[in-house]
Structure 1
């Protein structure tokens, strides 16, 4: 049973919404335990609407994500980075911060193990935390000079072919200047947050979350001279589909639009941001070391 810390009388957040990964084993029980802990800390507890519906939770008030602004002070996400990506896009720009609690493997964004929630979450709710603001990408899909889709991405916007089609040919312009024509399996436009996701597996560099830049990383380019490049944060990138079958554009790999030759995807940094809250002991380098299995320095350092 989770219990509050001795300092639970002090709190920086009064209204807390809980979001859970629907498919995770034991999520119902863990979410209820988490709700009891937050309630004992003196907070008003809400369950995000889709979480409540999927898990059939009726013990607490329900609040839709689009209604969090002005009504919720803190969102606690129980699941993995995918769950965090989904809710972060929905509440971006609302000024409501997020705390991520993972249910298994350590996540880049859900960096608090469930086993340590009893000690960690009360401190954060009491105001003892590190705030980490992240940028998002704003993408518009344009066909015949008309916008057919508009989406946000916290990790990346990816233009790529389906698994059975051949290479796709893309023309890339940055701030009105032609950069290149590229034949490849696709192109990733990534935030610093997303540099440790698909862009990393495509050979892109790791960007510290606070680096002001946008990363372009080709996916298996036909020419080895097509290399990843980091653009200024105010860059506007336009990707035009020149040729290719079954080409799609993905937003955080959670939603997509089917593309045709001549379609353009305009990507820029969004004016909206999202803030993650971490324990005081949080270290981006420790997370990278543990996720990527980097050798650790000797204990004498």
Structure 2
């Protein structure tokens, strides 16, 4: 990998993350690398400025923060094909990041990257658009919204907890009407986040699939489903006379949904690219470590494994 132009984004408001970003910038600049650095957070989005200010390709994005910082980076950078090296500095769970211990010797990390001694993990993303008008002659009413974890269609109100009534179609065929707190359309990466909390399926990130999970449905027969990655999921908000229904991407508000509009979700035509420094990366170990997947309360010896 060449390191001629690099983005460094640190978690906004976190001094530890900012200090490491400054250290990385100095070292990379000493290697004749151009560095674009800035904070990323709820009120800080540096990526449009970064992307509009360059004339040559960006070789790498170094994201120093937690999962929220990584999700924001993926939505902005994955469409541009920019690989992401995410390090858990200032984060909590760190499900999408590399361990900080592998990053402490930063000069060794730069050498590894330049020598191509790393793995690349590609993760599926989703895109959503808002449509309106006649079902058979729809009009596009929004930009494209992207997510790495999930699209969430859910009402919001400052003075009460409104219920959502949502009709879902998959490839033009009605599947169900859900009444409850909302609906999640998730990637395999997102299956271990909000979807898992809503009793949805956990999907290995090596599989391309879409998980559709109702949130607290008012029916015992409303169940999560897994559908092929090429499917198109259309969600129609019904009975929303007070305009509460919103589209959320990776827990960030994307847009409001007006009467007569619907949300169409499909697999994006690009993947998020994550650099893996760990030599023994395991999805199952991540589940055990991050989600405390303990299994049975009593552990028995398995003498047949031979170890």
Measured against aligned partners, the alpha-carbon deviations of 1:229-263 in whole angstroms (never above 9, x if no partner) come to 11100000100011234111111122321123332
In the alignment, does 2:254 pair up with 1:264? Answer: no
Shift of 1:138: 1.2
Over the aligned positions, Cα root-mean-square deviation in angstroms equals 2.7
Please say if 1:169 is aligned against 2:170: no
Structure 1 110/67 Cα, relative in aligned 2: closer, same or farther at 3 Å? Answer: farther
Give the superposition deviation at 1:179. 0.4
Q: Normalization by structure 2: what TM-score?
A: 0.82
The question of 1:126 aligning with 2:124 is answered no
Shift of 1:272: 1.9
SS at match of 1:180: strand
Q: Over residues 72-102 of structure 1, what are the superposed CA-to-partner deviations in whole Å (9 max), with x where a residue is unaligned?
A: 1111101111111112111223222100011
146-155 or 130-139: which moved more?
Answer: 146-155
Please name the residue that 2:80 is paired with.
94
| Counterpart Cα distance in 2 of 1:195 and 1:70 | 35
What do residues 256-296 of structure 1 show as CA deviations (whole Å, max 9, x unaligned)? 21123332000010102220010123222222211111239
250, 253, 267: which one aligns with 2:251: 253
Deviation at 1:39, TM superposition (A): 4.0
**Structure 1 residue 107 displacement after superposition:** 1.2
Structure 1 residues 50 and 106: CA distance shift in structure 2, 3 A:
closer
Q: 1:264 & 1:213 partners in 2: Cα distance?
A: 22
**Post-superposition offset of 1:37:** 3.6
Deviation at 1:35, TM superposition (A): 1.9
- Spell out, residue by residue over 1:192-226, the C-alpha distance to the aligned partner (whole angstroms, 9 max, x if none): 11111111111111111111100101000001211
In structure 2, the CA distance between the partners of 1:81 and 1:35, relative to structure 1 (3 Å rule), is: same
| Cα distance change of structure 1 residues 263 and 108 upon mapping to structure 2, 3 Å threshold | same
* TM-score (structure 1 length as normaliser): 0.84
Specify which of 192, 197, 214 is matched with residue 196 of structure 1.
192
Q: How does 1:148-167 map to 2 (within 5 A)?
A: 148-149=141-142, 150-162=144-156, 164-167=160-163
Question: Given the superposition, is the C-alpha separation of residues 47 and 165 from structure 1 closer, same or farther in structure 2, using an over 3 Å criterion?
Answer: same
Q: 3-state SS of the aligned residue for 1:139?
A: strand
The worse-fitting range, judged by mean Cα deviation, of 271-280 and 121-130 is: 121-130
What is residue 28 of structure 2 aligned with on the other side?
A: 38
Match of 1:287 in 2: 286
- 1:158 Cα deviation from its structure 2 partner: 0.5
Structure 1 residues 69 and 287: alpha-carbon distance in aligned structure 2, compared to 1, 3 A threshold: farther
Q: 2:229 aligns with which of 218, 221, 233?
A: 233
Distance in 1 between residues matched to 2:262 and 2:57, nearest whole Å = 38
Instruction: Report if aligned partners of 1:66, 1:91 keep a CA contact under 8 Å in 2.
Output: no
Counterpart of 1:112 (choices 96, 99, 119) is 99
Instruction: Give the length in aligned residue pairs.
Output: 282
> Runs of 5+ in structure 1 lacking a partner?
1-10, 56-61
Task: After TM superposition, list the pairs within 5 Å mapping 1:215-230 onto structure 2.
Answer: 215-230=211-226
Report which stretch shifted further, 125-134 or 20-29.
Answer: 20-29
